[in-house]
């Protein structure tokens, strides 16, 4: 299904937003992360160089404890590296404070978690609206956009359901709708199918792939399942806090989103 690319090919198929080759979404240089617990030091990352371009869909694999989640947290601006440089969408985020990081998360990143992390006793609609609340979007817009996002993940008829009234796959779809709602540049998913069965996992991956192809959203996710990694044009293998291998594949059919598709987005990009 995929053919391997060489590293020199331009990894960004997205020609319109921003200008191709201007800068990648993710640009990391020599990232290290050291956790200090008492007098023990855990080197979770030991120097990671990574560049991910717009519109890529990347899987991160590797044994448990190899530093995948640590990397995702730094990429997602939830944490800062001990040393090294990290640029998100061209901006150096290593120098930012808590509030600025929160703002970047709000504007540029959507998260999907292994355990869904929906607010309990709260409807799907309200859960999806949550990021817009902190982005300062007015009530009517929030409502409309959340409805569109739920439509996009195929949950039109589950808007008023609470998490405990939804299946695992449906909950993860709500979480994906929530990640989508701010039209992020980047969706990060740490083991999004980790709590789902094979069939549901495939449905979720189909959805993510569709978003990547049709909306041009860059997606990075962690998985332990090689079959899930098959959905990606690129697989990064982690070991002991380092990138062991970076495999690129090119889909036989050109899946790059055209500007046509971008214009048909349900909402305007900022």
Partner 1 sequence: MNLFESTRVAMLALAANKLRSALTMLGIIIGVSAVIALMSIGRGVEKFFVDQFTSLGTNLLYVFPGQLSEGPPSERGRERGVLTLADSHAINNPLRVPDVIAVAPQVSGNALIARAGNDMDVSVSGVTASYQDALSGEAAIGSFITDADVEERSRVVVIGSDVFGRLFEPYEDPIDQTIRVNNILFRVIGVMEERGAGVGGANLDEMIFIPLTTVQDRLFRLRTVSGEYQVSLIYASVISEDRMEAAQQQITDLLRERHNIAFRGEDDFVVINQSDLLAIFGDILSAMTLFLSAIAFISLVVGGIGIMNIMLVSVTERTREIGLRKAVGAKRRNVLSQFLIEAVTLALIGGLLGIVLGAGGAVAATSFVDNFSAVVGLDAIAIAILFSMAVGLFFGIYPAYRASRLNPIDALRYE
How many Cβ atoms sit within 10 Å of the Cβ of residue 224?
14
Instruction: Kindly provide the b/e burial profile for residues 75-89, where b requires at least 16 CB atoms within 10 angstroms of the residue's own CB.
Output: bbbebbbeebebbbb
How many Cβ atoms sit within 10 Å of the Cβ of residue 34?
14
Q: In whole angstroms, how close is the CB of 254 to partner 1 at the nearest point?
A: 33
- Chosen residue from 22, 42, 133, 256 binding partner 1 by CB under 8 A: 133
Distance of CA 191 to the CA centre of its chain: 11
Q: In whole angstroms, how close is the CB of 68 to ligand ATP at the nearest point?
A: 4
Q: In whole angstroms, how close is the CB of 167 to partner 1 at the nearest point?
A: 20
- Binding part of the chain for partner 1, among 25-33, 82-90, 121-129, 238-246 by CB under 8 A, reads 121-129
- Binding part of the chain for partner 1, among 6-14, 42-50, 101-109, 195-203 by CB under 8 A, reads 101-109
Which of ligand ATP, Mg ion, partner 1, none binds 79 (CB below 5-8 Å, type-dependent)? Answer: partner 1
How many alpha carbons lie under 13 Å from residue 21 in its C-beta half-sphere? 3
164 scored as a contact of partner 1 (CB under 8 A): no
Which of ligand ATP, Mg ion, partner 1, none binds 67 (CB below 5-8 Å, type-dependent)? Answer: ligand ATP
Residues 6+ apart with CB under 8 A from 210: none
What does the alpha-carbon distance between residue 148 and residue 144 come to, in Å, rounded to a whole number?
A: 6
What does the alpha-carbon distance between residue 69 and residue 60 come to, in Å, rounded to a whole number?
A: 10
| 8 Å CB contact between 45 and 70 | yes
Which of partner 1, Mg ion, ligand ATP, none binds 35 (CB below 5-8 Å, type-dependent)? Answer: ligand ATP
Q: How many residues does the chain have?
A: 270
| 8 Å CB contact between 46 and 32 | yes
Which of partner 1, ligand ATP, Mg ion, none binds 66 (CB below 5-8 Å, type-dependent)? Answer: ligand ATP
22 scored as a contact of partner 1 (CB under 8 A): no
Q: In whole angstroms, how close is the CB of 117 to ligand ATP at the nearest point?
A: 15
Interface residues with partner 1 (CB under 8 A) are: 73, 76, 78-79, 98-99, 102-103, 105-107, 111, 113, 117, 119-122, 126, 130-131, 133-136, 178, 182
């Amino acid at each position: 299904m995929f053919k391997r690319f060489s590293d020199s090919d331009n990894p960004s198929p997205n020609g319109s937003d921003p200008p191709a080759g201007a800068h990648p979404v993710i640009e990391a240089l020599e990232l290290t992360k050291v956790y200090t617990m008492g007098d023990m030091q855990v080197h979770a990352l030991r120097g990671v160089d990574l560049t991910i371009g717009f519109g890529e869909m990347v899987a991160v694999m590797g044994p448990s404890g190899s530093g995948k989640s640590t990397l995702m947290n730094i990429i997602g601006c939830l944490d800062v590296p001990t040393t090294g440089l990290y640029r998100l969408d061209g901006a150096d985020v290593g120098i930012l404070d808590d509030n600025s990081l929160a703002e970047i998360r709000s504007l540029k990143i959507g998260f999907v978690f292994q355990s869904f992390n929906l607010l309990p006793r709260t409807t799907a609609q309200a859960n999806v609206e949550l990021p817009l609340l902190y982005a300062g979007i007015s009530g009517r817009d929030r409502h409309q956009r959340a409805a569109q996002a739920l439509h996009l993940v195929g949950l039109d008829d589950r808007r008023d359901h609470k998490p405990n009234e939804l299946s695992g796959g449906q909950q993860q779809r709500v979480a994906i709708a929530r990640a989508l709602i701010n039209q992020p540049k980047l969706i990060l998913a740490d083991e999004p199918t980790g709590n789902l069965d094979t069939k549901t996992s495939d449905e979720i991956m189909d959805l993510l792939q569709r978003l990547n192809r049709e909306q041009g959203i860059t997606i990075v996710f962690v998985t332990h399942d090689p079959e899930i990694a098959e959905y990606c044009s690129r697989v990064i293998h982690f070991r002991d806090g380092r990138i062991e291998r970076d495999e690129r594949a090119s889909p036989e059919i050109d899946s790059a989103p055209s500007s046509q598709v971008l214009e048909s987005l349900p909402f305007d990009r900022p």
